[in-house]
Amino acid sequence: MGSVIITCALTGAQQGKEANPNLPEQPPEIIEQGLAAWRAGAAILHIHARDKDGKPTGDVTVFKEIVDGLRSAGCDAILNLTTGGAVAGLSLKERLRIIPELTPQIASFSLGSGCLLGRYDHDNREWLRDRFVPLFPSYKEMETTAVFFRNHGTKPEIEIYHAGMINNLNALDRIGIFEHPIFVNIVMGIPGEVTPAGVRELIFLVDSLPPDANWHVTGIGGKNHFRITMAAVLLGGHLRVGMEDNLYLERGVLAENNAQLVEKAVRLLKELGESPASPAEAGSILGVNT
């Protein structure tokens, strides 16, 4: 029986084909790469959508095209649809439309007020990509959104960018908002108000989670990606890879597709004596119907 769930995040809301021409943007590309990633061993597919110009969109019809394409091809992977896209300027209302209309098994849920992003260029003495990404204005709105997820039968993948967001998780969990076992995605390595992708930092965050939490790590960038995701497995977590997070198969080598990243993850798991969970096994672990 496989014990480690592999999630493949196929495409995101920021980088485009200018960063890697193999990044899938349009539904046929996302479907094709999703099927290949599933066949390679991914039990969960995390899905963003793009419009005809390759820009992030919350358009339910685009998400539905992707979901229908995967299902009609026989894909039984758990589908995790994003309610992200705040970084691309999409409103919360627009991002949440997929929940009642498509009732995904899992959807992402960023549990915080927002994040400062940016880094300082010491050579030119200026801040680069300096911005604030707004999420929720109040605990009440976070609570309302969590209940909205639950009422539609969608499990939240709770996105954690720093320790303060775990405080939010624990505060809401104490009043019974989340059904257990919860599922957490620890995002690490984005320049700014996001926890660095280090093992010490990861241990601290994991030790702060509710004790029965299932979790994995999003390691942003080729330098961080496989090192921190495999550290997560060694600490008892699950595994996330994909071109949303990392465009490289190895140093200096762009990934040709998402399946390559999943295949590498499977090889590394087997070297550790672990095996990837099937979609049915992942559903049993997470408490998600498959």
The mean predicted confidence, pLDDT, of the chain is 95
**Least confident range of 88-92, 119-123, 179-183, 209-213:** 88-92
CA–CA dist 146, 97 (Å, integer) = 14
Q: What confidence tens digit (pLDDT) does each residue in 189-248 have?
A: 999 999 999 999 999 999 999 999 999 999 999 999 999 999 999 999 999 999 999 999
DSSP β-bridge partners for residue 237: none
Q: Kindly tell me if the per-residue pLDDT of 94 is higher than 90.
A: no
| Residue % of the chain over a pLDDT of 90 | 92
Please name the fold of domain 6-286. Answer: TIM Barrel (3.20.20)
In this prediction, residues 44-51 reach a mean pLDDT of 96
CA–CA dist 257, 73 (Å, integer) = 19
Residue 91 confidence (pLDDT)? 83
DSSP β-bridge partners for residue 158: 109, 184
Q: Kindly tell me if the per-residue pLDDT of 98 is higher than 70.
A: yes
In this prediction, residues 138-167 reach a mean pLDDT of 96
Q: Kindly tell me if the per-residue pLDDT of 75 is higher than 70.
A: yes
Residue 89 identity: G
**pTM of the predicted model as reported, rounded to 2 decimal places:** 0.96
Residue 109 confidence (pLDDT)? 96
Closest Cα to residue 73, out of 111, 30, 107? Answer: 30
| Residue % of the chain over a pLDDT of 70 | 99
Q: What confidence tens digit (pLDDT) does each residue in 157-170 have?
A: 999 999 999 999 99
Residue 92 confidence (pLDDT)? 83
CA–CA dist 238, 206 (Å, integer) = 12
Residue 85 confidence (pLDDT)? 77
In this prediction, residues 102-115 reach a mean pLDDT of 95
The tokens 């990392």 sit on which residue? Answer: 246
Would you give the DSSP letter of residue 165? H
Burial 62-72 (b: 16+ CB within 10 A, else e): bbebbbebbee
Q: Copy the structure tokens of residue 44.
A: 């969960």
Residue 136 confidence (pLDDT)? 92
Residue 1 confidence (pLDDT)? 58
